């Protein structure tokens, strides 16, 4: 990893949570940290920022050690030069945008004139010159977010930690603000660790995704890599894939992969024994009757749940005890008369299935 990046190796216990993780974030890279509630995402940010002291481990940024449990080094939060953006942005309600941005520099010992000049420069850079004299209550959600970022950047941050930065925004403004935030992060060129529960935010803002489950990193990679090779049910759901641990038969050509009582027929010459099997819901076709055709995998299934989208419907199925999700068009769902309890046939081609150890 480049010296300018952020590197963390943390071990900490907080209540029932035992957190142990190692992660590197390169300069200019944004890593989206995702996971179920209670997995330790916000705890990780607090440990990096110095708001919590790890039980053991090491945190460094830009070649400077912020925390080293073995060496007894533990820099105070204000000495770490890290910009932290909380979900509510933590702006001072009695100060205007300009004074809020200047506050970080003033807290580090800068004179008033110097701090205000820097604040003006950052507000201009982030397109906030016209909003500089307005207090937080008079700013939009996106403007408050950029003011908080300007405050972090103006104070000389070497890394950014963002905790659900889109969480305080309404759905209608999120798309526009994502684009603005992506541009700011790119221009800042800092290692950025971003906690989010939203897959769209992770895809739009993160160069990589790190998945934290029960205090452990279960998978780290690009969104495409996670979609191709998910390794936990959470990652599969995040990527929108059906995932099953299977036992793959030996041999070449079309062969069996068993997931509980369900047998898939797959093409996986290089894989045998314990493995993962994955396919997209859009690869599942549904019919009221069993049809002859080229699909090598046809299962009797029962509709468990329907989840309607804008123009497509996700159909959650029970296939001999195996949960499977299909994604079909609204007209197709209406033509089949789908409802919970309806029996259907689900088909998947072998060529649509990925198998990997």
Average pLDDT over residues 79-101: 87
Per-residue pLDDT, averaged over 141-170, amounts to 85
Which CATH code is given to the segment(s) 6-228?
3.40.50.300
User: Which letter does DSSP use for residue 125 in this model?
Assistant: H
Q: Which helix (H) or strand (E) holds 164?
A: none
Q: How do the domains of the chain map onto residue ranges?
A: 6-228, 242-356
CATH annotation of 242-356: 2.40.50.100
Alpha-carbon torsion angle 176, 197, 208, 311, nearest 10: -60
Please tell me whether residue 188 adopts helix, strand or coil conformation: helix
* pLDDT of 2 above 50: no
What's the mean pLDDT in 239-260?
96
Residue-level pLDDT at 235: 96
**Which three-class secondary structure state does DSSP give residue 340?**
coil
User: What global pTM score does this model have?
Assistant: 0.87
Cα distance between the two ends of the chain:
28
Nearest to 154 by CA among 130, 182, 123: 123
Q: What are the structure tokens assigned to 18, written together?
A: 């035992």
pLDDT at 1: 40
Strands 159-163 and 82-85 turn out to be parallel
Taking each helix axis from N to C terminus, what angle separates 112-125 and 141-154, rounded to the nearest 10 degrees?
A: 130
Is pLDDT at 3 greater than 70 in this prediction? Answer: no
Q: Is residue 107 predicted with pLDDT exceeding 80? A: no
pLDDT for 307: 94
pLDDT band at 69 (very low <50, low <70, confident <90, very high): very high
Within 13 A of 239's CA, how many CA atoms are on the CB side? 27
Q: Which helix (H) or strand (E) holds 255?
A: strand 254-259
Q: What mean pLDDT value characterizes the chain?
A: 91
> Strand, coil or helix: what is 171?
helix
Helix, coil or strand: residue 194: strand
**For residue range 193-236, what is the model confidence (pLDDT) as tens digits?**
999 988 889 989 999 999 999 999 999 999 999 999 999 999 99
pLDDT value for 309: 84
Q: Enter the tokens of residue 216.
A: 């452990």
Q: Does residue 254 contact residue 267 with C-beta atoms inside 8 Å?
A: yes
Tell me, what's the pLDDT at 344?
97
């Amino acid at each position: 990893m480049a010296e300018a990046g952020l590197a963390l190796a943390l071990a900490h216990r907080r209540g029932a949570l035992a957190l142990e993780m190692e992660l590197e974030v390169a300069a200019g890279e944004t890593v989206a940290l995702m996971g179920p509630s209670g997995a330790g995402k916000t705890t990780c940010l607090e440990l990096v920022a110095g708001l919590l002291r790890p039980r053991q481990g090491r945190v460094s940024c830009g070649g400077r050690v912020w925390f080293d449990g073995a060496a007894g080094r533990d820099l105070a939060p204000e000495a770490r030069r890290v910009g932290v953006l909380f979900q509510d942005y933590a702006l001072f309600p009695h100060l205007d945008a300009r004074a809020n941005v200047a506050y970080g520099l003033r807290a580090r010992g800068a004179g008033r004139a110097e701090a205000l000049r820097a604040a003006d420069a950052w507000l201009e850079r982030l397109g906030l010159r016209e909003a500089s004299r307005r207090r937080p209550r008079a700013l939009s959600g996106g403007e408050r977010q950029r003011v908080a970022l300007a405050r972090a950047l103006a104070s000389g941050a070497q890394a950014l930690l963002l905790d659900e930065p889109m969480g305080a925004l309404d759905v209608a403004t999120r798309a526009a603000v994502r684009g603005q935030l992506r541009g700011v992060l790119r221009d800042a060129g800092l290692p950025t660790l971003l906690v989010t529960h939203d897959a769209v935010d992770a895809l739009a803002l993160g160069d990589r995704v790190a998945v934290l489950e029960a205090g452990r990193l279960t998978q780290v990679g690009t969104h495409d890599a996670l979609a191709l090779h998910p390794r936990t049910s959470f990652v599969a759901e995040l990527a929108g894939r059906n995932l099953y641990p299977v036992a793959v038969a030996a041999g070449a050509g079309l062969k069996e992969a068993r997931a509980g009582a369900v047998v898939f027929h797959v093409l996986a010459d290089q894989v045998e024994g314990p493995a993962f099997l994955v396919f997209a819901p859009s690869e599942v076709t549904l019919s009221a009757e069993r049809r002859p055709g080229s699909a090598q995998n046809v299962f009797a299934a029962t509709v468990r749940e329907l989840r309607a989208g804008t123009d497509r419907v996700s159909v959650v199925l029970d296939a001999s005890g195996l949960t499977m999700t299909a994604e079909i068009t609204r007209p197709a769902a209406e033509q089949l008369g789908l409802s919970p309890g309806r029996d259907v046939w689900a088909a998947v081609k072998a060529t649509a299935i990925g198998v990997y150890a």
